[in-house]
Structure 1
Protein backbone atom coordinates (compact mmCIF):
# COMPACT_ATOMS: atom_id res chain seq x y z
CA UNK A 1 0.00 0.00 0.00
CA UNK A 2 2.85 2.36 0.92
CA UNK A 3 4.68 1.54 -2.31
CA UNK A 4 1.51 2.23 -4.32
CA UNK A 5 1.05 5.56 -2.58
CA UNK A 6 4.66 6.55 -3.25
CA UNK A 7 4.30 5.53 -6.87
CA UNK A 8 1.10 7.56 -7.19
CA UNK A 9 2.76 10.62 -5.66
CA UNK A 10 5.71 10.28 -8.03
CA UNK A 11 3.42 9.89 -11.05
CA UNK A 12 1.37 12.93 -10.01
CA UNK A 13 4.57 14.92 -9.45
CA UNK A 14 5.93 13.98 -12.87
CA UNK A 15 2.59 14.76 -14.52
CA UNK A 16 2.48 18.13 -12.75
CA UNK A 17 6.03 18.97 -13.79
CA UNK A 18 5.33 17.86 -17.36
CA UNK A 19 2.19 20.01 -17.53
CA UNK A 20 4.06 23.01 -16.13
CA UNK A 21 6.90 22.51 -18.62
CA UNK A 22 4.46 22.32 -21.53
CA UNK A 23 2.75 25.53 -20.39
CA UNK A 24 6.15 27.25 -20.36
CA UNK A 25 6.77 26.07 -23.92
CA UNK A 26 3.33 27.31 -24.93
CA UNK A 27 4.11 30.71 -23.42
CA UNK A 28 7.38 30.83 -25.34
CA UNK A 29 5.53 30.07 -28.57
CA UNK A 30 3.08 32.88 -27.83
CA UNK A 31 5.88 35.37 -27.13
CA UNK A 32 7.69 34.50 -30.35
CA UNK A 33 4.46 34.68 -32.37
CA UNK A 34 3.71 38.14 -30.95
CA UNK A 35 7.27 39.29 -31.58
CA UNK A 36 7.09 38.25 -35.23
CA UNK A 37 3.63 39.79 -35.62
CA UNK A 38 5.00 43.10 -34.28
CA UNK A 39 8.20 42.75 -36.33
CA UNK A 40 10.34 42.63 -33.20
CA UNK A 41 12.97 40.19 -34.40
CA UNK A 42 15.53 40.94 -31.70
CA UNK A 43 13.94 38.58 -29.17
CA UNK A 44 16.28 36.18 -27.39
CA UNK A 45 14.43 33.85 -25.04
CA UNK A 46 16.54 32.00 -22.45
CA UNK A 47 17.41 28.34 -22.94
CA UNK A 48 18.00 27.51 -19.29
CA UNK A 49 15.82 24.66 -18.02
CA UNK A 50 15.17 23.18 -21.46
CA UNK A 51 16.04 19.69 -22.68
CA UNK A 52 18.87 19.51 -25.19
CA UNK A 53 16.49 19.22 -28.15
CA UNK A 54 14.31 22.08 -26.93
CA UNK A 55 17.44 24.12 -26.23
CA UNK A 56 18.70 23.62 -29.76
CA UNK A 57 15.29 24.56 -31.17
CA UNK A 58 15.11 27.73 -29.03
CA UNK A 59 18.64 28.74 -30.02
CA UNK A 60 17.67 28.25 -33.67
CA UNK A 61 14.59 30.46 -33.20
CA UNK A 62 16.67 33.13 -31.49
CA UNK A 63 19.24 33.11 -34.27
CA UNK A 64 16.58 33.05 -36.99
CA UNK A 65 14.84 36.06 -35.46
CA UNK A 66 18.09 37.99 -35.45
CA UNK A 67 18.84 37.05 -39.07
CA UNK A 68 15.33 38.04 -40.20
CA UNK A 69 15.73 41.40 -38.48
CA UNK A 70 19.08 41.97 -40.18
CA UNK A 71 17.63 40.93 -43.56
CA UNK A 72 14.71 43.36 -43.22
CA UNK A 73 17.07 46.14 -42.16
CA UNK A 74 19.34 45.39 -45.11
CA UNK A 75 16.41 45.45 -47.54
CA UNK A 76 15.26 48.75 -46.07
CA UNK A 77 18.72 50.25 -46.46
CA UNK A 78 18.98 49.02 -50.06
CA UNK A 79 15.58 50.57 -50.85
CA UNK A 80 16.71 53.91 -49.45
CA UNK A 81 19.96 53.68 -51.39
CA UNK A 82 18.06 53.14 -54.64
CA UNK A 83 15.73 56.04 -53.86
CA UNK A 84 18.69 58.27 -52.99
CA UNK A 85 20.41 57.45 -56.27
CA UNK A 86 17.26 58.25 -58.27
CA UNK A 87 16.59 61.50 -56.40
CA UNK A 88 20.17 62.75 -56.63
CA UNK A 89 20.30 61.90 -60.33
CA UNK A 90 17.06 63.73 -61.13
CA UNK A 91 17.91 66.76 -58.99
CA UNK A 92 21.37 67.09 -60.52
CA UNK A 93 19.87 66.82 -64.02
CA UNK A 94 17.54 69.70 -63.18
CA UNK A 95 19.94 72.01 -61.35
CA UNK A 96 23.08 71.66 -63.50
CA UNK A 97 21.68 73.36 -66.65
CA UNK A 98 20.01 76.07 -64.53
CA UNK A 99 23.32 76.83 -62.83
CA UNK A 100 25.13 76.96 -66.19
CA UNK A 101 22.55 79.28 -67.76
CA UNK A 102 22.60 81.60 -64.74
CA UNK A 103 26.40 81.71 -64.83
CA UNK A 104 26.32 82.65 -68.53
CA UNK A 105 23.85 85.49 -67.86
CA UNK A 106 25.89 86.78 -64.91
CA UNK A 107 28.96 87.00 -67.16
CA UNK A 108 27.03 88.89 -69.85
CA UNK A 109 27.86 92.65 -69.91
CA UNK A 110 24.21 93.62 -70.37
CA UNK A 111 23.25 91.96 -67.04
CA UNK A 112 26.04 93.22 -64.77
CA UNK A 113 24.88 96.13 -62.66
CA UNK A 114 21.22 95.81 -63.65
CA UNK A 115 18.18 94.91 -61.53
CA UNK A 116 18.27 91.40 -63.03
CA UNK A 117 21.72 90.56 -61.66
CA UNK A 118 20.64 90.04 -58.04
CA UNK A 119 17.74 87.75 -58.99
CA UNK A 120 19.84 85.66 -61.36
CA UNK A 121 22.63 85.40 -58.78
CA UNK A 122 20.12 84.20 -56.18
CA UNK A 123 18.90 81.48 -58.54
CA UNK A 124 22.49 80.51 -59.35
CA UNK A 125 23.58 80.32 -55.71
CA UNK A 126 20.47 78.37 -54.70
CA UNK A 127 21.00 75.75 -57.43
CA UNK A 128 24.70 75.54 -56.65
CA UNK A 129 23.98 75.04 -52.96
CA UNK A 130 21.38 72.38 -53.77
CA UNK A 131 23.91 70.57 -55.97
CA UNK A 132 26.44 70.50 -53.13
CA UNK A 133 23.72 69.32 -50.73
CA UNK A 134 22.70 66.47 -53.05
CA UNK A 135 26.31 65.51 -53.74
CA UNK A 136 26.92 65.03 -50.00
CA UNK A 137 24.08 62.48 -49.86
CA UNK A 138 25.68 60.37 -52.56
CA UNK A 139 27.85 59.02 -49.76
CA UNK A 140 24.86 56.96 -48.65
CA UNK A 141 24.91 54.90 -51.84
CA UNK A 142 28.60 54.96 -52.76
CA UNK A 143 30.30 53.48 -49.70
CA UNK A 144 33.61 51.70 -50.21
CA UNK A 145 33.94 47.97 -49.68
CA UNK A 146 34.96 46.88 -46.20
CA UNK A 147 38.38 45.43 -45.35
CA UNK A 148 37.99 43.05 -42.43
CA UNK A 149 40.83 42.70 -39.97
CA UNK A 150 41.09 41.26 -36.48
CA UNK A 151 40.62 44.07 -33.96
CA UNK A 152 41.44 43.80 -30.22
CA UNK A 153 38.27 45.49 -28.98
CA UNK A 154 39.42 46.85 -25.61
CA UNK A 155 42.52 48.58 -27.03
CA UNK A 156 40.46 49.90 -29.94
CA UNK A 157 37.93 51.52 -27.59
CA UNK A 158 40.67 53.00 -25.42
CA UNK A 159 41.97 54.89 -28.47
CA UNK A 160 38.50 56.31 -29.11
CA UNK A 161 38.07 57.31 -25.47
CA UNK A 162 41.04 59.68 -25.79
CA UNK A 163 38.99 61.90 -28.10
CA UNK A 164 36.32 62.43 -25.41
CA UNK A 165 38.14 63.20 -22.13
CA UNK A 166 35.14 65.09 -20.78
CA UNK A 167 33.03 61.94 -20.63
CA UNK A 168 33.04 59.34 -17.87
CA UNK A 169 33.72 55.97 -19.50
CA UNK A 170 32.95 52.46 -18.30
CA UNK A 171 34.48 49.81 -20.59
CA UNK A 172 33.57 46.30 -19.42
CA UNK A 173 35.37 44.26 -22.06
CA UNK A 174 38.03 41.61 -21.49
CA UNK A 175 41.34 42.16 -23.23
CA UNK A 176 40.95 38.82 -25.06
CA UNK A 177 37.85 39.92 -27.03
CA UNK A 178 38.62 40.54 -30.70
CA UNK A 179 36.39 41.33 -33.68
CA UNK A 180 36.54 40.75 -37.40
CA UNK A 181 35.64 44.22 -38.68
CA UNK A 182 36.72 47.14 -40.84
CA UNK A 183 38.71 49.38 -38.48
CA UNK A 184 37.89 52.70 -40.19
CA UNK A 185 34.19 51.91 -40.56
CA UNK A 186 33.83 50.71 -36.97
CA UNK A 187 35.62 53.81 -35.70
CA UNK A 188 33.26 56.05 -37.65
CA UNK A 189 30.19 54.24 -36.30
CA UNK A 190 31.35 54.57 -32.69
CA UNK A 191 32.30 58.23 -33.14
CA UNK A 192 28.84 58.93 -34.59
CA UNK A 193 27.18 57.25 -31.59
CA UNK A 194 29.34 59.13 -29.07
CA UNK A 195 28.83 62.43 -30.89
CA UNK A 196 25.05 61.95 -30.84
CA UNK A 197 25.21 61.06 -27.14
CA UNK A 198 27.13 64.26 -26.36
CA UNK A 199 24.60 66.34 -28.31
CA UNK A 200 21.85 64.68 -26.24
CA UNK A 201 23.53 65.80 -23.02
CA UNK A 202 25.31 62.57 -22.06
CA UNK A 203 28.06 62.67 -19.45
CA UNK A 204 28.63 58.91 -19.09
CA UNK A 205 29.34 56.19 -21.67
CA UNK A 206 29.14 52.47 -20.98
CA UNK A 207 30.53 49.90 -23.43
CA UNK A 208 30.23 46.18 -22.78
CA UNK A 209 30.48 42.90 -24.70
CA UNK A 210 27.64 40.35 -24.50
CA UNK A 211 28.20 38.43 -27.76
CA UNK A 212 27.35 41.84 -29.25
CA UNK A 213 28.75 45.30 -28.57
CA UNK A 214 26.44 47.33 -26.31
CA UNK A 215 27.05 51.10 -26.27
CA UNK A 216 25.01 53.05 -23.70
CA UNK A 217 24.80 56.69 -22.61
CA UNK A 218 22.89 58.73 -20.03
CA UNK A 219 21.74 61.45 -22.41
CA UNK A 220 18.14 62.30 -23.26
CA UNK A 221 15.87 59.32 -23.90
CA UNK A 222 14.77 58.63 -27.46
CA UNK A 223 10.97 58.87 -27.83
CA UNK A 224 9.19 55.85 -29.33
CA UNK A 225 8.03 57.81 -32.38
CA UNK A 226 11.61 58.93 -33.07
CA UNK A 227 13.02 55.42 -32.55
CA UNK A 228 10.82 54.13 -35.39
CA UNK A 229 12.26 56.63 -37.87
CA UNK A 230 15.80 57.25 -36.63
CA UNK A 231 17.56 55.01 -39.18
CA UNK A 232 15.71 56.53 -42.16
CA UNK A 233 18.02 58.69 -44.30
CA UNK A 234 17.51 62.46 -43.90
CA UNK A 235 15.34 62.03 -40.77
CA UNK A 236 16.50 64.27 -37.94
CA UNK A 237 15.09 66.05 -34.90
CA UNK A 238 18.00 68.51 -34.77
CA UNK A 239 17.68 71.97 -36.27
CA UNK A 240 21.11 71.77 -37.84
CA UNK A 241 21.21 67.98 -38.33
CA UNK A 242 21.79 66.35 -41.71
CA UNK A 243 19.85 63.17 -40.94
CA UNK A 244 22.51 60.84 -42.32
CA UNK A 245 24.55 59.97 -39.19
CA UNK A 246 22.62 56.93 -37.92
CA UNK A 247 21.59 55.79 -41.39
CA UNK A 248 25.22 55.95 -42.52
CA UNK A 249 26.33 54.14 -39.36
CA UNK A 250 23.91 51.28 -39.99
CA UNK A 251 25.09 51.00 -43.59
CA UNK A 252 28.71 50.94 -42.42
CA UNK A 253 27.87 48.06 -40.07
CA UNK A 254 26.06 46.18 -42.83
CA UNK A 255 29.05 46.63 -45.13
CA UNK A 256 30.94 44.57 -42.53
CA UNK A 257 28.24 41.90 -42.41
CA UNK A 258 26.78 43.20 -39.13
CA UNK A 259 24.00 45.49 -37.99
CA UNK A 260 23.22 48.45 -35.73
CA UNK A 261 19.99 48.73 -33.75
CA UNK A 262 18.48 50.47 -30.77
CA UNK A 263 17.93 48.20 -27.76
CA UNK A 264 14.34 47.92 -26.56
CA UNK A 265 15.55 48.49 -23.00
CA UNK A 266 18.64 50.46 -22.11
CA UNK A 267 21.28 49.01 -19.80
CA UNK A 268 20.26 49.78 -16.19
CA UNK A 269 21.56 53.19 -15.13
CA UNK A 270 21.51 54.54 -18.69
CA UNK A 271 18.82 55.99 -20.92
CA UNK A 272 19.89 54.82 -24.40
CA UNK A 273 21.63 51.66 -25.59
CA UNK A 274 22.70 50.82 -29.14
CA UNK A 275 23.68 47.26 -30.08
CA UNK A 276 26.30 46.50 -32.72
CA UNK A 277 26.34 42.97 -34.10
CA UNK A 278 29.16 41.37 -36.06
CA UNK A 279 29.21 38.45 -38.45
CA UNK A 280 32.43 36.90 -37.15
CA UNK A 281 33.18 37.93 -33.57
CA UNK A 282 36.02 36.23 -31.74
CA UNK A 283 36.57 36.07 -27.98
Structure 2
Protein backbone atom coordinates (compact mmCIF):
# COMPACT_ATOMS: atom_id res chain seq x y z
CA UNK A 1 0.00 0.00 0.00
CA UNK A 2 2.87 2.39 0.84
CA UNK A 3 4.53 1.74 -2.51
CA UNK A 4 1.30 1.96 -4.52
CA UNK A 5 0.25 5.33 -3.06
CA UNK A 6 3.29 7.11 -1.56
CA UNK A 7 2.60 10.20 0.55
CA UNK A 8 4.96 12.91 1.74
CA UNK A 9 4.36 12.09 5.42
CA UNK A 10 5.24 8.45 4.72
CA UNK A 11 8.75 9.32 3.51
CA UNK A 12 11.50 10.40 5.91
CA UNK A 13 14.62 12.06 4.50
CA UNK A 14 17.84 11.89 6.53
CA UNK A 15 21.57 12.01 5.94
CA UNK A 16 23.53 8.76 5.62
CA UNK A 17 25.58 9.48 8.75
CA UNK A 18 22.45 9.93 10.92
CA UNK A 19 21.60 6.55 12.43
CA UNK A 20 18.00 5.51 13.00
CA UNK A 21 16.82 4.89 16.58
CA UNK A 22 14.75 1.89 15.44
CA UNK A 23 15.61 -0.95 13.08
CA UNK A 24 12.94 -2.84 11.11
CA UNK A 25 13.57 -6.58 11.45
CA UNK A 26 10.27 -8.47 10.99
CA UNK A 27 7.25 -8.31 8.64
CA UNK A 28 4.22 -10.46 9.47
CA UNK A 29 5.09 -14.14 8.88
CA UNK A 30 8.54 -13.38 7.39
CA UNK A 31 11.66 -13.49 9.56
CA UNK A 32 13.16 -10.78 7.37
CA UNK A 33 11.97 -7.75 5.38
CA UNK A 34 10.68 -8.36 1.82
CA UNK A 35 11.28 -5.40 -0.50
CA UNK A 36 9.55 -4.65 -3.82
CA UNK A 37 11.92 -3.15 -6.38
CA UNK A 38 11.58 -2.18 -10.03
CA UNK A 39 12.03 -5.60 -11.55
CA UNK A 40 10.53 -7.72 -8.75
CA UNK A 41 11.08 -8.54 -5.06
CA UNK A 42 14.08 -9.36 -2.87
CA UNK A 43 14.57 -10.43 0.75
CA UNK A 44 16.50 -8.13 3.07
CA UNK A 45 17.74 -9.04 6.58
CA UNK A 46 18.51 -5.81 8.50
CA UNK A 47 19.86 -7.80 11.46
CA UNK A 48 22.83 -8.88 9.31
CA UNK A 49 24.05 -5.29 8.99
CA UNK A 50 23.79 -4.39 12.68
CA UNK A 51 27.55 -4.81 12.91
CA UNK A 52 27.86 -1.50 11.13
CA UNK A 53 26.16 0.14 14.11
CA UNK A 54 28.34 -1.58 16.79
CA UNK A 55 25.48 -3.78 18.02
CA UNK A 56 25.67 -7.16 19.74
CA UNK A 57 26.56 -9.94 17.32
CA UNK A 58 24.28 -12.96 16.81
CA UNK A 59 23.12 -15.20 13.95
CA UNK A 60 19.65 -14.16 12.71
CA UNK A 61 17.19 -16.43 10.90
CA UNK A 62 17.87 -16.38 7.15
CA UNK A 63 16.29 -19.66 6.08
CA UNK A 64 14.16 -19.04 2.97
CA UNK A 65 15.63 -15.59 2.37
CA UNK A 66 16.66 -16.43 -1.21
CA UNK A 67 13.25 -17.92 -1.92
CA UNK A 68 11.68 -14.51 -1.37
CA UNK A 69 13.13 -13.20 -4.64
CA UNK A 70 10.89 -13.25 -7.70
CA UNK A 71 10.27 -11.14 -10.81
CA UNK A 72 7.06 -9.58 -11.99
CA UNK A 73 7.09 -11.91 -14.98
CA UNK A 74 6.88 -15.09 -12.93
CA UNK A 75 3.78 -17.14 -12.21
CA UNK A 76 1.71 -16.10 -9.23
CA UNK A 77 3.57 -12.81 -8.81
CA UNK A 78 0.37 -10.91 -8.05
CA UNK A 79 -0.36 -13.22 -5.14
CA UNK A 80 3.19 -12.79 -3.83
CA UNK A 81 2.98 -8.99 -4.21
CA UNK A 82 -0.29 -9.04 -2.25
CA UNK A 83 1.33 -11.13 0.52
CA UNK A 84 4.26 -8.69 0.76
CA UNK A 85 1.90 -5.70 0.88
CA UNK A 86 -0.09 -7.34 3.67
CA UNK A 87 3.12 -8.23 5.51
CA UNK A 88 4.13 -4.57 5.59
CA UNK A 89 0.93 -3.86 7.52
CA UNK A 90 2.39 -5.91 10.43
CA UNK A 91 5.95 -4.79 11.09
CA UNK A 92 8.15 -4.90 14.17
CA UNK A 93 11.05 -2.67 15.05
CA UNK A 94 13.69 -2.75 17.75
CA UNK A 95 15.85 -0.09 19.32
CA UNK A 96 19.46 -0.08 18.29
CA UNK A 97 21.30 -2.25 20.81
CA UNK A 98 24.54 -0.34 20.62
CA UNK A 99 22.84 2.96 21.41
CA UNK A 100 20.92 1.50 24.35
CA UNK A 101 24.02 -0.13 25.78
CA UNK A 102 25.99 3.08 25.35
CA UNK A 103 23.32 5.03 27.21
CA UNK A 104 23.28 2.44 30.02
CA UNK A 105 27.08 2.54 30.28
CA UNK A 106 27.02 6.32 30.34
CA UNK A 107 24.42 6.36 33.11
CA UNK A 108 26.41 3.77 35.06
CA UNK A 109 29.57 5.81 34.64
CA UNK A 110 27.86 8.96 35.87
CA UNK A 111 26.46 7.08 38.87
CA UNK A 112 29.88 5.60 39.66
CA UNK A 113 31.49 9.04 39.46
CA UNK A 114 28.83 10.46 41.80
CA UNK A 115 29.38 7.61 44.26
CA UNK A 116 33.15 8.13 44.08
CA UNK A 117 32.79 11.84 44.79
CA UNK A 118 30.48 11.04 47.73
CA UNK A 119 33.00 8.53 49.10
CA UNK A 120 35.81 11.04 48.79
CA UNK A 121 33.75 13.62 50.68
CA UNK A 122 32.89 11.13 53.42
CA UNK A 123 36.54 10.09 53.69
CA UNK A 124 37.65 13.68 54.10
CA UNK A 125 35.00 14.25 56.79
CA UNK A 126 36.08 11.09 58.59
CA UNK A 127 39.74 12.09 58.52
CA UNK A 128 38.84 15.52 59.83
CA UNK A 129 36.72 14.09 62.65
CA UNK A 130 39.49 11.66 63.60
CA UNK A 131 41.99 14.48 63.79
CA UNK A 132 39.58 16.57 65.86
CA UNK A 133 38.79 13.77 68.32
CA UNK A 134 42.35 12.50 68.60
CA UNK A 135 43.90 15.92 69.09
CA UNK A 136 46.10 15.97 72.23
CA UNK A 137 45.87 12.18 72.92
CA UNK A 138 48.91 9.94 73.12
CA UNK A 139 49.15 6.34 71.97
CA UNK A 140 49.04 5.20 75.60
CA UNK A 141 45.81 7.09 76.15
CA UNK A 142 44.39 5.52 73.03
CA UNK A 143 45.36 2.05 74.28
CA UNK A 144 43.74 2.74 77.65
CA UNK A 145 40.57 3.95 75.96
CA UNK A 146 40.50 0.88 73.71
CA UNK A 147 41.03 -1.40 76.72
CA UNK A 148 38.21 0.35 78.56
CA UNK A 149 35.92 -0.18 75.59
CA UNK A 150 36.90 -3.86 75.52
CA UNK A 151 36.08 -4.12 79.22
CA UNK A 152 32.69 -2.54 78.55
CA UNK A 153 32.09 -5.06 75.78
CA UNK A 154 32.99 -7.91 78.15
CA UNK A 155 30.65 -6.56 80.84
CA UNK A 156 27.83 -6.23 78.37
CA UNK A 157 28.57 -9.73 77.13
CA UNK A 158 28.29 -11.12 80.67
CA UNK A 159 25.07 -9.19 81.22
CA UNK A 160 23.72 -10.53 77.96
CA UNK A 161 24.60 -14.08 79.04
CA UNK A 162 22.85 -13.51 82.38
CA UNK A 163 19.79 -12.23 80.58
CA UNK A 164 19.83 -15.31 78.33
CA UNK A 165 20.07 -17.62 81.36
CA UNK A 166 17.22 -15.76 83.05
CA UNK A 167 15.17 -16.04 79.86
CA UNK A 168 15.80 -19.81 79.77
CA UNK A 169 14.69 -20.14 83.40
CA UNK A 170 11.67 -18.01 82.67
CA UNK A 171 10.73 -20.22 79.71
CA UNK A 172 11.12 -23.31 81.92
CA UNK A 173 8.89 -21.70 84.57
CA UNK A 174 6.32 -20.79 81.95
CA UNK A 175 6.35 -24.38 80.72
CA UNK A 176 5.73 -25.65 84.27
CA UNK A 177 2.96 -23.09 84.70
CA UNK A 178 1.32 -24.34 81.52
CA UNK A 179 1.56 -27.91 82.81
CA UNK A 180 0.00 -26.84 86.12
CA UNK A 181 -2.77 -25.06 84.23
CA UNK A 182 -3.51 -28.26 82.36
CA UNK A 183 -3.54 -30.24 85.64
CA UNK A 184 -5.82 -27.64 87.26
CA UNK A 185 -8.21 -27.89 84.33
CA UNK A 186 -8.30 -31.68 84.74
CA UNK A 187 -8.97 -31.35 88.49
CA UNK A 188 -11.68 -28.77 87.86
CA UNK A 189 -13.31 -31.14 85.38
CA UNK A 190 -13.12 -34.00 87.92
CA UNK A 191 -14.55 -31.76 90.65
CA UNK A 192 -17.40 -30.75 88.38
CA UNK A 193 -18.22 -34.40 87.70
CA UNK A 194 -18.17 -35.13 91.45
CA UNK A 195 -20.51 -32.21 92.13
CA UNK A 196 -22.87 -33.49 89.47
CA UNK A 197 -22.83 -36.96 91.04
CA UNK A 198 -23.45 -35.48 94.51
CA UNK A 199 -26.40 -33.49 93.20
CA UNK A 200 -27.75 -36.65 91.58
CA UNK A 201 -27.35 -38.63 94.82
CA UNK A 202 -28.96 -35.85 96.87
CA UNK A 203 -31.85 -35.73 94.42
CA UNK A 204 -32.33 -39.51 94.75
CA UNK A 205 -31.86 -39.54 98.54
CA UNK A 206 -35.54 -38.81 99.24
CA UNK A 207 -36.67 -41.53 96.89
CA UNK A 208 -34.22 -43.99 98.42
CA UNK A 209 -35.40 -43.08 101.94
CA UNK A 210 -38.99 -43.80 100.92
CA UNK A 211 -37.94 -47.14 99.50
CA UNK A 212 -36.01 -47.90 102.71
CA UNK A 213 -39.08 -47.20 104.87
CA UNK A 214 -41.18 -49.33 102.56
CA UNK A 215 -38.71 -52.23 102.79
CA UNK A 216 -38.50 -51.84 106.57
CA UNK A 217 -42.29 -52.03 106.84
CA UNK A 218 -42.27 -55.12 104.62
CA UNK A 219 -39.59 -56.71 106.83
CA UNK A 220 -41.57 -55.92 109.97
CA UNK A 221 -44.72 -57.36 108.41
CA UNK A 222 -42.87 -60.50 107.35
CA UNK A 223 -41.27 -60.80 110.80
CA UNK A 224 -44.70 -60.60 112.37
CA UNK A 225 -46.08 -63.22 109.98
CA UNK A 226 -43.07 -65.46 110.55
CA UNK A 227 -43.47 -65.05 114.32
CA UNK A 228 -47.08 -66.12 114.09
CA UNK A 229 -46.08 -69.04 111.84
CA UNK A 230 -43.36 -70.13 114.29
CA UNK A 231 -45.84 -69.97 117.17
CA UNK A 232 -48.28 -72.12 115.24
CA UNK A 233 -45.49 -74.52 114.31
CA UNK A 234 -44.55 -74.79 117.96
CA UNK A 235 -48.16 -75.50 118.82
CA UNK A 236 -48.24 -78.17 116.14
CA UNK A 237 -44.95 -79.62 117.41
CA UNK A 238 -46.29 -79.71 120.98
CA UNK A 239 -49.37 -81.40 119.70
CA UNK A 240 -47.20 -83.85 117.76
CA UNK A 241 -45.21 -84.58 120.90
CA UNK A 242 -48.40 -85.29 122.74
CA UNK A 243 -49.60 -87.45 119.89
CA UNK A 244 -46.25 -89.23 119.84
CA UNK A 245 -46.60 -90.16 123.52
CA UNK A 246 -50.13 -91.35 122.92
CA UNK A 247 -48.95 -93.19 119.77
CA UNK A 248 -46.32 -95.06 121.76
CA UNK A 249 -48.94 -96.19 124.22
CA UNK A 250 -51.42 -97.20 121.52
CA UNK A 251 -48.80 -98.91 119.37
CA UNK A 252 -47.87 -101.20 122.22
CA UNK A 253 -51.51 -101.91 122.84
CA UNK A 254 -52.55 -102.67 119.22
CA UNK A 255 -49.32 -104.02 117.78
CA UNK A 256 -50.20 -107.75 118.11
CA UNK A 257 -53.85 -107.50 117.18
CA UNK A 258 -55.59 -107.48 113.80
CA UNK A 259 -54.31 -106.00 110.58
CA UNK A 260 -56.27 -102.91 111.32
CA UNK A 261 -54.37 -102.56 114.52
CA UNK A 262 -51.06 -103.02 112.72
CA UNK A 263 -51.94 -100.22 110.30
CA UNK A 264 -52.79 -98.02 113.21
CA UNK A 265 -49.50 -98.92 114.82
CA UNK A 266 -47.67 -97.98 111.60
CA UNK A 267 -49.45 -94.64 111.52
CA UNK A 268 -48.52 -94.02 115.12
CA UNK A 269 -44.88 -94.75 114.32
CA UNK A 270 -44.98 -92.15 111.54
CA UNK A 271 -46.41 -89.66 114.01
CA UNK A 272 -43.55 -90.43 116.36
CA UNK A 273 -41.00 -89.84 113.56
CA UNK A 274 -42.61 -86.51 112.74
CA UNK A 275 -42.49 -85.51 116.39
CA UNK A 276 -38.75 -86.31 116.46
CA UNK A 277 -38.12 -84.18 113.33
CA UNK A 278 -40.16 -81.33 114.83
CA UNK A 279 -38.16 -81.12 118.07
CA UNK A 280 -35.53 -78.68 116.68
CA UNK A 281 -38.31 -76.10 116.09
CA UNK A 282 -39.25 -76.02 119.75
TM-score scaled by structure 1? Answer: 0.22
Looking at both structures, which has the greater relative contact order when contacts are Cα pairs under 8 Å and sequence separation is at least 6? 1
TM-score scaled by structure 2? Answer: 0.22
Higher normalized strand content (fraction of residues) = 1
Of the two, which has the highest radius of gyration? Answer: 2
Higher normalized helix content (fraction of residues) = 2
